[in-house]
Every structure is written in structure tokens, then in C-alpha cells.
């Protein structure tokens, strides 16, 4: 057994990287093998994208919560908008 970060797993010298990861070793023709390392550039880009996600707008959440409690959150305009979006999404999915 080889120890890595406190996790123990068997590694045999005759195994390929895919077999060690539990992937089938017969890949479809032309498909490259999975890399054994993480692309640091990709990880950096993902971390940057995550950092750009806005924080929760507590004021909007509070206002919406109060409208729901008062019974005036659902309006005919909001219902119409929701139905229109659902129909558009359905049409887009159907056309794919």
C-alpha cells in the first residue's frame, strides 16, 4: 500500500494510470488519457470565476421573504414571466 494524504490505496507497478483510478483501460479510439496532474492555469481560472460570484444580497432576500409572508409576492406579471421562460426553455430543449 502507498499512503497519500492519509488515504491508503493499493498501487501495483503493472497498473496503468487509468486502472489505478478505477477507469476502464480500453478507451475509445482517439480519446486521450486522463491527465494525472491538475492544470494549474485551469485551477487558477476556476478560482477567479468563483471569486467573481456575488455575495448574497441580504436586502433582496429579506424583502422577498416579507412579500411572501404578506401574500403579495406572486403577481400576475411574475406568473406570466415565469410561464414565458418555461415555454422558451422547453422550445430550446426541443430544438436541440
11, 2 Cβ separation under 8 angstroms: yes
Rounded to an integer, what distance in angstroms lies between the CA atom of residue 16 and that of residue 55? 43
For the question of whether the overall pTM of this predicted structure is more than 0.75, the answer is no
DSSP state of 37: S
64, 73 Cβ separation under 8 angstroms: yes
pLDDT digits (tens, 9 = 90+) for 5-60: 454 445 555 545 555 555 555 556 677 766 656 667 888 888 888 888 888 888 99
18, 33 Cβ separation under 8 angstroms: yes
Please give the helix or strand (H or E) that residue 3 lies within, else none: strand 2-4
pLDDT at 1: 44
Helix and strand element counts for the chain (H, E):
4, 2
Q: Where are the domains of the chain?
A: 57-96
Amino acid at each position: 500500500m502507498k499512503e497519500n494524504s492519509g488515504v491508503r490505496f493499493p498501487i501495483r507497478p503493472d497498473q496503468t494510470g487509468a486502472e489505478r483510478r478505477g477507469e476502464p483501460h480500453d478507451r475509445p479510439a482517439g480519446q486521450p488519457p486522463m491527465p494525472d496532474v491538475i492544470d494549474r492555469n485551469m485551477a487558477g481560472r476556476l478560482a477567479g470565476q468563483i471569486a467573481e460570484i456575488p455575495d448574497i444580497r441580504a436586502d433582496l432576500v429579506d424583502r422577498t421573504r416579507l412579500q411572501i409572508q404578506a401574500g403579495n409576492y406572486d403577481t400576475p406579471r411574475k406568473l406570466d414571466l415565469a410561464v414565458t421562460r418555461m415555454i422558451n426553455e422547453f422550445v430550446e430543449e426541443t430544438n436541440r
